């Protein structure tokens, strides 16, 4: 009987350890996520006709995958002016650009395996897509929250446990 309790304790402890991934909050960026390794952070500012777009990219590598999370801050008045149709255009443009860049990097034609548009958290326009090029997989999630545009891309083994844990841990937070 004692061995049964020890076995159950070990099983429960190991399940709890693998299911609990510590997410780090990035309150200024408005999200939290459990990156598998400490991400490299790169900030840029792009001048456009519509105003300055501030961009921050968080990148980390696993054994057989790369995660890039980009937060882009558009001028708030631009997003209001664009409305729903314009926001959908931003999502579509990001998807098309990501696919084109992926094809260029992998030197192969992209084959879609997933493509859906939905409301993230039931309130923010989002698109999720994925596919293969040059025998490499990619999955992406794009979300527009007010004037913040998030692009999360995983390339390589998109089913790796650390990569799927990262996606599950990603949450938008209110500032």
* pLDDT at residue number 64: 96
Do residues 35 and 23 make contact, with C-beta atoms less than 8 angstroms apart?
no
* pLDDT at residue number 21: 54
Span between the terminal Cα atoms of the chain, in Å: 51
**Residue 23 pLDDT class (50, 70, 90 cuts):** confident
**Residue 5 pLDDT class (50, 70, 90 cuts):** very low
* pLDDT at residue number 68: 96
Is 172 exposed, middle or buried, given 0-12, 13-18 or 19+ CB atoms closer than 10 A?
Answer: middle
Is this model's pTM higher than 0.85 or not?
Answer: no
Is the pLDDT score of 4 beyond 90? no
Measured distance CA(138)–CA(158) in Å, rounded: 7
Q: What is the mean pLDDT of the chain?
A: 86
Question: What is the dihedral angle through the alpha carbons of 79, 80, 86, 92, rounded to the nearest 10 degrees?
Answer: 40
Domains, the chain, in order of start with CATH, read 22-172 (3.40.1000)
Q: Summarize pLDDT for 115-128 with one digit per residue, the tens.
A: 999 999 999 999 99
Q: Summarize pLDDT for 55-72 with one digit per residue, the tens.
A: 999 999 999 999 999 999
Half-sphere exposure of 51 (CA within 13 A, CB side): 12
Measured distance CA(133)–CA(108) in Å, rounded: 5
Measured distance CA(85)–CA(135) in Å, rounded: 34
DSSP structure string for 96-123: HHHHHHHHHHHTS--EEEEEEEEEETTT
Do residues 167 and 23 make contact, with C-beta atoms less than 8 angstroms apart?
no
**Residue 79 pLDDT class (50, 70, 90 cuts):** confident
**Residue 1 pLDDT class (50, 70, 90 cuts):** very low
Is 96 exposed, middle or buried, given 0-12, 13-18 or 19+ CB atoms closer than 10 A?
Answer: exposed
């Amino acid at each position: 009987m004692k061995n049964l309790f020890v076995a159950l304790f070990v099983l429960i402890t190991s399940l709890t350890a693998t299911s609990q991934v510590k997410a780090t909050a990035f309150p200024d960026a408005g999200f939290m996520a459990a990156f598998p390794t400490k991400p490299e952070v790169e900030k840029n500012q792009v001048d456009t006709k519509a105003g300055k777009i501030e961009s921050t990219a968080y990148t980390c590598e696993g054994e057989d995958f790369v995660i890039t999370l980009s937060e882009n801050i558009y001028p708030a008045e631009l997003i209001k002016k664009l409305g729903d149709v314009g926001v959908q255009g931003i999502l579509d443009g990001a998807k098309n650009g990501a696919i084109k860049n992926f094809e260029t990097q992998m030197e192969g034609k992209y084959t879609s395996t997933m493509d859906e548009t939905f409301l993230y958290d039931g309130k923010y326009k989002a698109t999720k897509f994925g596919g293969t090029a040059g025998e490499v997989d990619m999955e992406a999630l794009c979300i527009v929250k007010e004037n913040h545009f998030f692009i999360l891309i995983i390339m390589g083994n998109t089913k790796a446990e650390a990569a799927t844990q990262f996606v599950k841990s990603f949450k938008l937070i209110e500032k």
